[in-house]
Structure 1
Amino acid sequence: MRYHPPASAAPLLLTPVDNEAPARMQRLRSLGLGQRPEPALDAFADRLAEVTGAPYAMVNFIDEDRQFFAGLHVPGGGHAGIEGVHRALRAGTHGAGAHGVSRYMARDHGYCPHVVVRRKALVLEDVCDFPRFAGNPVVDEIGIRSYMGAPLIDRTGTALGTVCVVDTEPRRWGRAGLETIKSMAAELTEQLQAREDGGI
């Protein structure tokens, strides 16, 4: 069934306005985050995929124009760039031969920008159940059907980005999934703070 909004309805705002983006960019630069892949964040994404049972997991930092997957897990244990993930999802190859490709994604793709602006976890067991989210480009272009993400809010109160998992099939994440993604976000936030303090 296709959703048809009433003629008088305002168009759905698919990507939220992000007034905190300039401050976030400055904070990310001061932390040295969001510019390059990091093995420790790839390892964190691997563990996130393992504990949630999701095929794809990301540590995502967001600026004014784009998203950057500084930590990335794809099926088979690889860390392909997001373009490789797109190809793998379309071709069913699960990231084969996709290593070393860009990890960037446009800000209007996906659901992490909503998590960052809302500053709250978001669980979409089937994105097609929600008109606001079903029209996102990742649904038709990549085949994403379920999403779960939580914000990384640091000690300054800045939402730096997210930890998230996605699947090409609907998933019943449930309350356990929500608690897991929130707990993993809190854990990574603590690690980033320890790194800033020189502890790691």
Structure 2
Amino acid sequence: MQKPDIPANEAERLAALRSYDILDTPPEPDFDDLVAIAAAICDVPTALISLVDSDRQWFKSKLGLKVDQTPRELAFCAHAILDPSQPLVVPDTHQDERFHDSPLVVDEPNIRFYAGAPLVTPQGEAIGTLCVIDTVPRQLLPQQRKALLALSKQTSRVLELRRVSRALARQLQESDWYEKQLLQYQQQLEASNADLAALTRTDPLTGLPNRRAFAAAFEQAQARRDGRLQVAVLDIDHFKVINDVHGHPEGDRILVAVAETLRLYASAPGAVARYGGEEFLMMFESDLRQAELQCEFVREAIANLPVGLPLTVSIGLATHRAGESSADSIARADQALYAAKRSGRNRVEVAEGD
């Protein structure tokens, strides 16, 4: 195991960390939300906000880990802060001489993959990381790396706004100027939280809404279009073959191309979403016949995409029924999708009874 070096600006770095008055404080929702999003986007069981103190790393927020701190000499994050300009990514700790015999690798929590994006103050000191961990080797996709960097910057902003807000709150009574400054920082925090909320509703690869955003849009449409609301589940045929033969970057390109096509046929911004993997959702505020015709248009448009590969989709369509949840409607559309696949793929099937 290789112990981490001490940064050249260690005194300034520790002073900056102390100025946040955050070590050994209770959990806070703003930080817990960031950790949960990082874990979800990177598809890992463990994510942390780690602050590197003089002799320990302490976790302001943690998901998938029981301990509150570890010795600095064992900390992966103590290596990550040595270069504040970029994340530290360790695809397989067993193949890295710095970590292969670390107690954190050979024993609990059995770290095999690590990626940590430094938390950097406005003055440039790296005081910790937002990191994600897995027990199996892996790589970060480009969009996951981009999202992890964005979330680390968001974490740094929340830390800074928290520090300034607390300092201003203590001095609020001294001057109206402090009151105006506090309001300004609160507005910045609200804007940052709005950006964060948008991130939780968006698929990072395609830019489409995710299933959570789709469910919200579906519930709103349900109130407007009772009896005239249709939902479709679309699946790219033989997508695993594309990934296996041409590689995951090519598969990502196909997903983005399909998403752009679906966006053209969406009746509203929230009417199309990535459901997961190679599956997408569409919503139509129309009768069943019109929705089926739209699905046929979508199917033909995708079959004619100039992507250099044979590409088709199978589609299942269902009518939302009164009193039915969005999940139930999607489940019936999903059953129709599997019927389309059993019937030869590259076709549209309507759910039984609709």
TM range (shorter): 0.7 to 0.9
**Shift, 1:61, TM fit:** 0.4
Q: Match of 1:112, as an amino acid? A: C
Match of 1:149 among 99, 112, 116: 116
Instruction: Indicate conservation of the 8 Å contact 1:116/1:161, yes or no.
Output: yes
Q: 1:146 touches 1:168 (CA, 8 Å); kept in 2?
A: yes
Report the Cα offset of residue 23 of structure 1. Answer: 2.4
1:172-197 CA-to-partner distances (Å, cap 9, x unmatched) read 22323322211111111122222233
What displacement does 1:56 show? 0.5
Per the alignment, residue 133 of structure 2 pairs with 166
TM-score scaled by length of structure 1? 0.74
Higher relative contact order (CA 8 A, sep 6+): 1
Look up the equivalent residue of 1:158 and give its one-letter code.
Answer: E
Q: Percent identity?
A: 26
Q: Which residue of 1 aligns with 2:66?
A: 81
- Structure with greater proportional helix content: 2
Listed as ranges, the gaps of 5+ residues in structure 1 are 1-11, 75-79, 83-102
Structure 2's unaligned 5+ residue stretches are 166-185, 190-354
SS at match of 2:73: coil
Matches within 5 A, 1:1-200: 13-40=2-29, 41-74=31-64, 81-82=66-67, 103-119=68-84, 120-142=86-108, 143-198=110-165, 199=186
Could you give the per-residue CA deviations for residues 139-193 of structure 1, whole angstroms, max 9, x where no partner exists?
1122110001110111121111100010111122232332221111111112222
Residues 74, 102 of structure 2: 8 Å contact kept: yes
Aligned residues: 164
For 2:100 and 2:83, how far apart are their aligned partners in 1?
18
How many angstroms apart in 2 are the aligned matches of 1:130 and 1:17?
20
Rounded to whole Å, the distance in 2 between the matches of 1:138 and 1:172 is 19
In 2, Cα distance between equivalents of 1:54 and 1:37: 24
Contact 2:20 2:160 in 1 (8 A): no
Contact 1:61 1:69 in 2 (8 A): yes
Distance across 2 between alignment mates of 1:63 and 1:171: 29
> In angstroms, what is the RMSD of aligned CA positions?
1.9
Shift of 1:54: 1.0
Which structure: larger Rg? 2
State the distance in 2 between where 1:122 and 1:105 align.
Answer: 18
Describe the superposition over 1:60-109 as per-residue Cα deviations: whole angstroms up to 9, x where unpaired.
Answer: 001110000011112xxxxx632xxxxxxxxxxxxxxxxxxxx0111122
Distance 1:51 1:59 in 2: 15
What SS does the corresponding residue of 1:17 show, helix, strand or coil? coil
8 A contact 1:34–1:62 mirrored in 2? no
Contact 2:41 2:144 in 1 (8 A): no
User: Which residue of the partner structure matches residue 290 of structure 2?
Assistant: none
CA distance in 1 between partners of 2:132 and 2:26 (Å):
17
**Corresponding residue of 1:9:** none
- Matched with 1:8 is none
Could you tell me how far apart the structure 2 residues matched to 1:175 and 1:127 are? 20
Equivalent position amino acid for 1:127 in 2: T
Give the conservation status (yes or no) of the 8 Å contact 1:66–1:104.
Answer: yes
